[in-house]
Amino acid sequence: MSKVISVFIILILIFFIATFRYKNKFLKGANKKEYKLYVILGSGLFIVDLIPKKIIKPYIRKLANKYRQIYVTSDVKNKCYLYVAEKICESLICLILVLMFVVVYLLKSSGGEDIKRIKRPSEDMPESKYYLTADGDIKENINLLIGSKEYTKKEAYKLFDKRKGDCIKRMLNKNESLDKVNTSLNIEDVEYSDGMLAQWQVQGEVINYDGSINIDVIDSNKVSSEMILTISYKDFSKDYKVDITVGNVKQSIQDKVQNYIDEQDRTSDYVVLPEELDEEKIGFRSKKNILWIFILGIGVLYAFAMFFLRDLDIKDKLRDRHEEMVSDYPKILNKFALLLRAGLGNVKALERIILEYDARGEYRYAYEEIKYMLYRIRLGEGEEKAYENYAKRCNEMCYSKFAGMLAENLRRGNLNLGDELSDELNKAWKERENVLRIKGERVGTKLVIPMILILIITLVMIVVPAFMSMKGV
């Protein structure tokens, strides 16, 4: 297969060499900097001319309509022509690169020749799977399981001697050397990755089966003992005699308490803990539970987080207030303009708006601000001053404009107030649409995660039964 692909690559390269000078005069008028593949554009133009006109012309015409919005030039058709040619060249280059990668992969995976032998995994590696294709008179895909290499007898015994030191070092545990054993030994079996097994056998009564030292049989400061190390691999094994000297035994508190417990009658319901060890008083209590520290830490962090995260609620409320006030602004403006045309003054018109608002029984920030402004006016605050404070409290550009128009109408009796309100109303409706659009996008964003979760659950409900049915479960 690699040979066929290689021939195809060569044919494409020959095509590039044979056609790269196609329509050379036409290409001289093109900007070389604008087209990165200018050198082989002739090959692309050659392929474009081979495409039936019924297919290529509608495409170029459609492309030209978009190009006229980008390039203010009468040469749009030629630009589209070159654009299509460059796209074809890019596709061909991409195809060549992919085919070359496939050829390299095929050569590397097959070695470029028939496979006569397969290297086994090393001794310390697990068995490996190989996927091959039988060729010749018999053609079939096969999966082979190749076991790891095994040691010869000579290699095994050589490795036994090498690993003896590692086994002794592991067995000594916390002891300094074989001549200075005073704490428990580690005599657990060790199995190596290559299948080799190391086992310890205790000789005599000095060392117990679990590696601990038997204090009862030690009559002097130093007692000699013997242990047997057996290292085996497949059918080969070798024994090593290891002499140790036990002396100045340092029995841990745990061993002393354990011995004290082991000496008690096991038919009793309770185990009595010692009150003295080596003529020294000792007491016991249950191990401290540090879970409370974790809970306390999480609680403190959560408290601090709640303190600062509450500001986010305020931020959300301010955002909601802004959106609500901008949304209500055109409604208030529209009502005010109608009442003004009906002959009512500023205050009377606003009072009428609030009267309708109270009848609805709602709570809206914009109306509440107007209600508070009217309350201040009734208390004796100057009308112009009340409008100014109203604008400051609202803290919105649109309401500042509205307050300014009210103050201007109060001072000069502005005859053009109706026209100004109409212009402002048109702007207000557009602003309201923008706010509602942003709000809708935010809601849509919040729904993305639930939608993804629903999609995952749906896929699981479909895929899992399908796999189970394939396995015959």
If we measure between CA atoms, which residue out of 377, 367, 369 comes closest to residue 347?
377
Q: State yes or no: pLDDT of 29 exceeds 90.
A: no
105: number of Cβ within 10 Å: 11
Most confident listed range (40-44, 312-316, 367-371): 367-371
Would you kindly state where each structural domain of the chain is located, as residue ranges? Answer: 1-109, 153-263, 309-443
Percent of the chain with pLDDT over 90: 4
Burial class (CB in 10 A: 0-12, 13-18, 19+), 397: exposed
**Structure confidence at residue 238 (pLDDT):** 92
Whole-number pLDDT of residue 280: 78
Residue 232: predicted pLDDT: 93
Q: What is the pLDDT of residue 198?
A: 92
Identify which has the larger pLDDT, 304 or 14: 14
**CA atoms of 333 and 327, how far apart (whole Å):** 11
**What is the pLDDT averaged over residues 150-154?**
89
User: Quick one: average pLDDT of 68-95?
Assistant: 71
For the entire predicted model, the pTM comes to 0.39
Per-residue pLDDT, 472 = 44
Q: Which of 46-50, 246-250, 264-268 has the lowest mean pLDDT?
A: 246-250
pLDDT, tens digit, 9 for 90 and up, residues 386-413: 888 888 888 888 888 888 888 887 777 6
Report the percent of the chain where pLDDT is more than 70.
80
Query: Vertex 326, ends 324 and 330: CA angle to 5°?
Result: 115
Q: Is 70 exceeded by the pLDDT of residue 111? A: no
Distance from C-alpha of 84 to C-alpha of 103, rounded to nearest angstrom? 29
* Residues 120-125, mean pLDDT to the nearest whole number: 78
Tell me, what's the pLDDT at 473?
Answer: 39
pLDDT, residue 231, reads 92
The pLDDT assigned to 230 comes to 93
Please determine, for residue 121, whether its predicted confidence score (pLDDT) is greater than 60: yes
pLDDT at 73: 47
